[in-house]
């Protein structure tokens, strides 16, 4: 029953998506509003059908209907409810379903919100979005159908992969990441619509900026939460391993970040039009590339889903996107001449251009490093693996220059900055940066890169804070408002600017967290008899006892450790090992005690059967919490930047009617 | 736009796409074993049916050593009939097939042997020593040891009849 309904709704959604794409284009070309309206209806219908399919799948999972293959593989009687619900994205087929649902939802929102303002472009944007949906619906309806049934159904299912039912972060990391990936479809769809209609002015740029910030915000959260999940679950004390799939999520983030900056140059100076379109196309292609890497099995990764046959289809889809988009771009390039010029090397334009080149260089290095094993095998027939040393060697210096530019960019003047203004703006941040590196060196930071990282982080943070302070003080002087009111009004008047500055502050926190947790980490592995303790850093960790218990879906062996700091007991920590019947290896569950100053991270490596001794790995990672906090600040900044502003919304249609005068494109 | 500029995009894209397409032909999990071409690590074992053997006794014969476990579904289940068929086809020609059961319960392992009617000798690796000597990473893995006692080929994952036959023929 569920199987039939599910298959039917996905197939029907596929048909409607194709129909909608077709009538949207026909309607726009033959100027038939009824057809365009029908295309819009298709977006709603697809959303309705996909929602229905998702609900069916959830019903099957929660109702433990093991006649559905997906449920038999990813659900089990003993799995707790939360992990049963989120098993929707625990494996290939379900994750594609979730992907389609997010895409359908965002398409609906985009068509609904932008539909009234962009009558010319919307049919084409609708068609592009529906085509993307159709591709994924095709996957879900045929090769990766989540509703395949099995007969006879097993009595109990295998349950989700234990790593995916070990931490609640699994409930939010994948949806955020998917929203970050899928979100770029909307800027892409509008960019394509602009290219097709030839409306290459500011219109599409204004439309997509909010959507691209939203996609960027989700992607940022998805990446940071992924790091957090890896840190809290995988039990190696790290959060980023330059794994192919992690890299694949970083790539669109880098090119998307580049776009968010150069789009300002286009708005302000009417330059870089081709560049911006190319960045959008690249970013969107990279989101598909990321999905491809996870699901094709061409590279080995902890994140890879089991191999499947959909890889070649993804590749064909990527080829289609790249060739058709860039072909359109080349065809329209004559209408994309820059109207402004670069006036001076010392200006915001050149700072942003520099930032773009570096971000793309960063992205290229990551791309090359990710695909290098494949390249080496293809060309020389030698299997190699490219690890942390390569990525760190290439990307750390680029990253440092980027942080420097992050401090400069928002404050330097457009067109040409005078020496006087530079002096006024950057004297204090530079002085404090030197002071910061002095302090860092005093607390024991050694080496050029770490010292530079702290100095530049201070520099960038001070520029942001100084900007907020100066703006608030000026406003307070003019309007007589209180400090907080002035600050909030300042931000509200220019959300995008101040939202962006908040994001920069978040980046600074992340940089400090990464640097400190990398250079000051401590670790020790010891075997302790009951009652014995180990010292590391400020802590003394005592092994108290070992207990075992049976839970519905697993058997748990848990160690209890008392943690003392200066002879005072500060915590009792319980790292454990979990034995799942479907797995040959036990899954370690780490216990982390986080404070703003440092994390204490305990891993139970092994134990004797009688519980008399346990081997424990103790790690100290300073300032890790700052990374997660920085991620939250970045997301907050993005939210501030896109928060709807009633005043602007009301005024915009008016402005646009003027911008749409014939002869201006 | 100048012609050369128009060509930049395809020139940049096509090699990447070709490279990714090439990726489908490779198996990222396949790591070449350093043991290939080296003398096979010696081992001795007791079979479930009471017999014993050691690699030394088998010198001069091609030997297929298959590491498996009863919980290894579906890969071990898929290849068990193929191994039995190979044993039936080649035992007359002096080929030896040995199953090494690892990380398993004896009762489950015996049920597995019964289920697939395996007649070639199978035994447990009680101390895990053979597993470690052969660098076994997971089950199933199969080593093909030539008449000269050197490791001829290592197969990771389920074997099918075709590969088995081809590799055994190479050793004969």
pLDDT tens across A223-270, in order?
A: 999 999 999 988 888 899 898 889 999 999 999 999 999 998 888 888
Residues A221 and A366 occupy one common structural domain: yes
- Domains of chain A: total: 4
Contacts of A374 in chain B (CB under 8 A): 19-20, 22-23, 26
- Assess if residue A275 is contained within a domain: yes
Radius of gyration of chain A (CA): 27
For residue range A355-375, what is the model confidence (pLDDT) as tens digits?
A: 999 999 999 999 999 888 888
Chain B residues in contact with A277 by the CB 8 A cut-off are: none
- Asked if A605 and A616 count as a contact pair (C-beta separation under 8 A), the reply is yes
Report the percentage of chain A scoring pLDDT > 70: 94
Residues of A in contact with B17 (CB under 8 A): 315, 318-319, 322
Cα gap A317→A133, rounded to integer Å = 12
- pLDDT higher for A120 or A281? A281
**Contact with chain B for residue A474, Cβ under 8 A:** no
Last residue of a domain, one of A504, A519, A534: A519
Q: Looking at chain B, which residue has its C-alpha nearest residue A583?
A: B71
User: A663 lies in a domain?
Assistant: no
Average pLDDT over residues A398-407: 93
Task: Kindly state whether residues A589 and A464 are assigned to the same domain.
Answer: no
Average pLDDT, chain A: 88
Q: How confident is the model at residue A337 (pLDDT cuts 50, 70, 90)?
A: confident
CATH code for the domain in which residue A556 is found: 2.60.98
Residue A395 lies in a domain: yes
Residue environment code for A329-342, b if the CB has 16+ CB neighbours within 10 A, otherwise e: bbebbeebeeeeeb
A627 belongs to a structural domain: no
- The residue of chain A with its CA nearest to that of B7 is A330
Query: Which conformational region is residue B63 in: left (phi greater than 0), alpha (psi within -120 to 50 degrees), or beta?
Result: beta
What's the rounded Cα separation, in Å, for the pair A284 and A252? 7
Query: H or E segment at A455?
Result: helix A448-479
Chain A residues whose beta carbon lies within 8 Å of the beta carbon of residue B6:
330
Q: What confidence tier does A301 reach under pLDDT thresholds 50, 70, 90?
A: low
In chain B, the largest separation of any two C-alpha atoms, in whole Å, equals 81
Residue A508: HSE in the Cβ half-sphere, 13 Å Cα cutoff: 24
Domain membership flag for residue A437:
yes
For A27, the token pair is 């309607």
For chain B, what percent of residues have pLDDT higher than 70? 92
**Could you tell me which residues come within 8 angstroms of residue A278 by beta carbon, excluding any fewer than 6 positions away?**
A326, A329
Chain A contact set for B71 (CB, 8 A):
584
Place of tokens 């500011």: A202
Identify the CA nearest to A122 among candidates A33, A245, A2.
A33
Residue B60 CB coordination number (10 Å)? 11
Contact A298 B24 (CB under 8 A): yes
Least confident of A52-61, A486-495, B130-139: B130-139
The C-alpha of A332 sits at a distance from chain B's nearest C-alpha, in angstroms, of 9
Decide which of A379, A407, A435 is a domain's last residue. A407
Q: Under an 8 A CB cutoff, do B24 and A311 touch?
A: yes
Residue A423 domain flag: yes
Task: State which fold the B35-171 domain adopts.
Answer: Glutaredoxin (3.40.30)
Q: Which of A296, A333, A584 sits opposite B1 (nearest CB)?
A: A333
In a domain, A636, yes or no: no
- Does A594 reach chain B within 8 Å, measured CB to CB? no
Query: Given pLDDT bands bounded at 50, 70 and 90, which one contains residue A398?
Result: very high
Asked if residue A107 and residue A96 are part of one domain, the reply reads: yes
- Does any CB of chain B come closer than 8 Å to the CB of residue A204? no
d(CA A571, CA A457): 33
Instruction: Tell me if B28 and A300 make a contact (CB, 8 A cut-off).
Output: yes
- Cα–Cα distance between A226 and A177 in angstroms, integer? 8
Type and span of the H or E element at B147:
none
Residue pair B100/B66 in contact (Cβ under 8 Å)? The answer is yes
Per-residue model confidence (pLDDT) at position A657: 37
Residues A318 and A403 in one domain: yes
Of the given ranges (A14-18, A605-609, A627-631, B120-124), which has the lowest mean pLDDT? A605-609
CA dihedral A7, A10, A13, A14 (to 10 degrees): -100
User: Closest to A315 (Cβ–Cβ): which among B6, B20, B31?
Assistant: B20
Range of the domain at A376: 187-407
CA geometry: angle A249, A254, A256, nearest 5 deg:
95
On whether both A229 and A105 belong to a single domain, the answer is: no
Q: How far is A36 from chain B (nearest CA, A)?
A: 33
Nearest chain B residue to A370 by CA: give it. Answer: B20
Whether residues B19 and A371 touch (CB distance < 8 A) is answered with yes
> In this prediction, what percent of chain A has a pLDDT beyond 90?
56
What is the CATH number for A56? 1.20.120
| Highest mean predicted confidence (pLDDT) among A109-123, A303-317, B65-79 | A109-123
Q: Torsion-angle region of residue A109: left (phi > 0), alpha (psi -120 to 50) or beta?
A: alpha
Is there a contact between A464 and A498 (Cβ–Cβ < 8 Å)? no
Residue of chain B minimizing CA distance to A585? B103
Residues A27 and A54 in one domain: yes
**Residue A500, helix vs strand vs coil:** helix
Residue B20: list chain A partners with CB under 8 A.
Answer: 292, 298, 315, 318, 371, 374
- The alpha carbon of residue B153 is apart from the nearest alpha carbon of chain A, in Å, by 17
Rounded to 5 degrees, φ, ψ at B144 are: -110, 115
- Does A75 reside within a domain? yes
pLDDT of residue A204: 83
d(C-alpha B155, C-alpha A344), whole Å: 63
Any idea where the domains of chain B sit in the sequence?
Answer: 35-171
Residues of B in contact with A322 (CB under 8 A): 9, 13, 17
Residues in chain B: 172
Are the CB atoms for A183 and A215 separated by under 8 Å?
yes
pLDDT band at A506 (very low <50, low <70, confident <90, very high): very high
Which of helix, strand or coil describes residue A16? helix
In this prediction, residue A652 carries a pLDDT of 44
Residue A665 pLDDT > 60:
no
Give residue-wise pLDDT tens across range A271-296: 888 899 999 999 999 999 988 887 76
Residue to substitute from A296, A303, A364, A374, interface B, most B β-carbons within 10 A: A374
Would the pLDDT of A316 be above 80? yes
Residue carrying structure tokens 């590339």 = A289
Which of A273, A293, A298 should we substitute to test contact with B (largest number of B Cβ atoms within 10 Å)?
A: A298
Chain B neighbors of A373, CB-CB under 8 A: 28
Q: Are residues A334 and A199 in the same domain?
A: yes
Q: A334 and A449 share a domain? A: no
Regarding an ipTM greater than 0.85, the answer is: no
Q: What is the mean pLDDT of residues A199-218?
A: 89
With contact defined as beta carbons under 8 Å apart, do A291 and A99 qualify?
A: yes
CB B69 within 8 A of CB B104: yes
- Per-residue pLDDT reduced to its tens digit, A538-583: 999 999 999 999 988 788 999 999 999 988 999 999 999 888 876 6
Give the span between the Cα atoms of A301 and A374, in whole angstroms.
Answer: 13
A296 neighbourhood in chain B, CB within 8 Å:
23-24
pLDDT value for A367: 93
In a shared domain, residues A349 and A223: yes
Contact of B100 with B130, CB cutoff 8 Å:
yes
Reported as a single tens digit per residue, the pLDDT across A55-108 is 999 999 999 999 998 998 888 888 899 999 999 998 888 999 999 999 999 999
The residue assigned the tokens 């893995």 is B141
Q: For residues A619 and A537, what is the distance between their CA atoms, to the nearest angstrom?
A: 9
Across residues A43-55, what is the average pLDDT?
97
Of A312, A371, A383, the CB nearest to B24: A312
3-state SS, A603-634, equals: EEEEECCCCCEEEEEEEEEECHHHHHHHHHHH
């Amino acid at each position: 029953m569920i199987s039939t309904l599910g298959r039917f709704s996905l197939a029907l959604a596929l048909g409607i998506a194709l129909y909608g794409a077709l009538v949207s284009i026909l309607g726009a070309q033959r100027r038939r509003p009824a057809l365009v309206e029908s295309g819009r209806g298709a977006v709603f219908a697809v959303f309705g059908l996909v929602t229905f399919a998702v609900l069916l799948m959830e019903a099957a999972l929660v109702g433990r209907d093991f006649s559905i293959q997906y449920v038999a593989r990813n659900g089990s009687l003993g799995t707790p409810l939360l992990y049963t619900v989120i098993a929707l994205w625990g494996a290939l087929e379900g994750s594609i379903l979730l992907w389609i649902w997010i895409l359908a939802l965002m398409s609906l929102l985009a068509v609904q919100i932008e539909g009234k303002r962009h009558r010319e472009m919307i049919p084409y944007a609708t068609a592009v979005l529906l085509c993307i949906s159709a591709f994924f619906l095709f996957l879900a309806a045929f090769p990766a159908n989540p509703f395949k049934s099995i007969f006879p159904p097993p009595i109990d299912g295998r349950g989700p992969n234990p790593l995916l039912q070990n931490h609640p972060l699994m409930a939010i990391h994948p949806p955020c990441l998917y929203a970050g990936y899928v979100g770029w479809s909307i800027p892409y769809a509008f960019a394509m619509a602009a290219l097709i209609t030839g409306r290459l002015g500011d219109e599409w740029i204004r439309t997509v900026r909010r959507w691209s910030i939203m996609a960027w915000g989700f992607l940022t959260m998805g990446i940071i939460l992924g790091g957090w999940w890896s840190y809290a679950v995988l039990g190696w004390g790290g959060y980023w391993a330059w794994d192919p799939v992690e890299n694949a999520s970083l790539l669109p983030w880098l090119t998307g970040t580049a776009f968010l900056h150069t789009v300002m140059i286009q708005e302000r100076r009417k330059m870089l039009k081709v560049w911006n379109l190319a960045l959008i196309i690249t970013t969107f292609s990279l989101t598909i590339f990321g999905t491809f890497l996870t699901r094709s099995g061409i590279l080995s990764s902890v994140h890879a889903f089991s191999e499947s046959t959909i890889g070649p289809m993804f590749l064909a889809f990527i080829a289609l996107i790249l060739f058709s988009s860039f072909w359109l771009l080349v065809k329209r390039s004559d209408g994309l001449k820059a109207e402004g010029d670069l006036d001076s090397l010392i200006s915001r334009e050149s700072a942003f251009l520099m930032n773009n080149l570096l971000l793309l260089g960063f992205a290229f290095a990551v791309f090359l490093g990710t695909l290098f094993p494949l390249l080496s095998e293809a060309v020389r027939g030698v299997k190699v693996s490219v690890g942390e040393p390569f990525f760190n060697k290439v990307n750390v210096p680029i990253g440092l220059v980027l942080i420097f530019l992050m401090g400069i960019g928002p404050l330097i003047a457009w067109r040409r900055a005078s020496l006087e203004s530079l002096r006024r703006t950057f004297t204090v941040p530079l002085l404090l940066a030197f002071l910061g590196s002095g302090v860092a060196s005093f607390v024991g930071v050694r080496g050029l890169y770490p010292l530079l990282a702290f100095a530049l982080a201070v520099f960038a943070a001070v520029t942001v804070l100084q900007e907020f302070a100066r703006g608030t003080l000026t406003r307070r002087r003019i309007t007589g408002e209180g400090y907080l009111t002035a600050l909030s009004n300042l931000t509200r008047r220019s959300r995008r600017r101040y939202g962006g500055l908040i994001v920069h502050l978040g980046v600074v926190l992340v940089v400090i967290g990464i640097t400190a947790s990398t250079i000051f980490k401590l670790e020790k592995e010891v075997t302790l008899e009951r009652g014995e303790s180990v010292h590391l850093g400020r802590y003394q960790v005592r092994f108290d006892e070992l207990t075992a218990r049976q839970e519905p879906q697993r058997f748990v062996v848990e160690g209890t450790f008392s943690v003392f700091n200066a002879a005072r007991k500060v915590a009792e920590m319980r790292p454990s090992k979990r034995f799942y019947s479907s797995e040959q290896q036990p899954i370690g569950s780490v216990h982390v005690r986080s404070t703003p100053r440092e994390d204490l991270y305990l891993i139970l490596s092994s134990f004797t059967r009688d519980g008399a001794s346990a081997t424990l790995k103790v790690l100290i990672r300073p300032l890790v919490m700052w990374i997660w906090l920085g991620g939250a600040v970045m997301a907050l900044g993005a939210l501030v930047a896109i928060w709807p502003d009633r005043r602007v919304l009301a005024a915009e249609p008016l402005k646009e009617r003027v911008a749409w005068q014939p002869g201006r494109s | 736009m100048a012609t050369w500029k128009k060509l930049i995009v395809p020139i940049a894209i096509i090699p990447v796409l070709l490279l990714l397409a090439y990726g489908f032909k490779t198996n990222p999990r396949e790591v070449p074993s350093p043991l290939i071409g080296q003398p096979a690590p010696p081992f001795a074992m007791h079979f479930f049916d009471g017999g014993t053997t050691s690699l030394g006794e088998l010198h001069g014969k091609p030997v297929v050593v298959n590491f498996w476990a009863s919980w290894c579904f579906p890969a071990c289940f898929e290849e068990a009939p193929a191994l039995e068929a190979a044993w039936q086809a080649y035992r007359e020609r002096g080929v030896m097939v040995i199953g090494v059961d690892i990380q398993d319960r004896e009762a489950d392992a015996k049920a597995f042997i019964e289920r697939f009617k395996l007649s070639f000798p199978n035994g447990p690796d009680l101390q895990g020593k053979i597993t470690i000597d052969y660098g076994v990473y997971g089950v199933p893995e199969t080593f093909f040891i030539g008449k000269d006692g050197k490791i001829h080929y290592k197969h990771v994952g389920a074997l099918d009849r075709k590969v088995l036959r081809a590799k055994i023929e190479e050793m004969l």
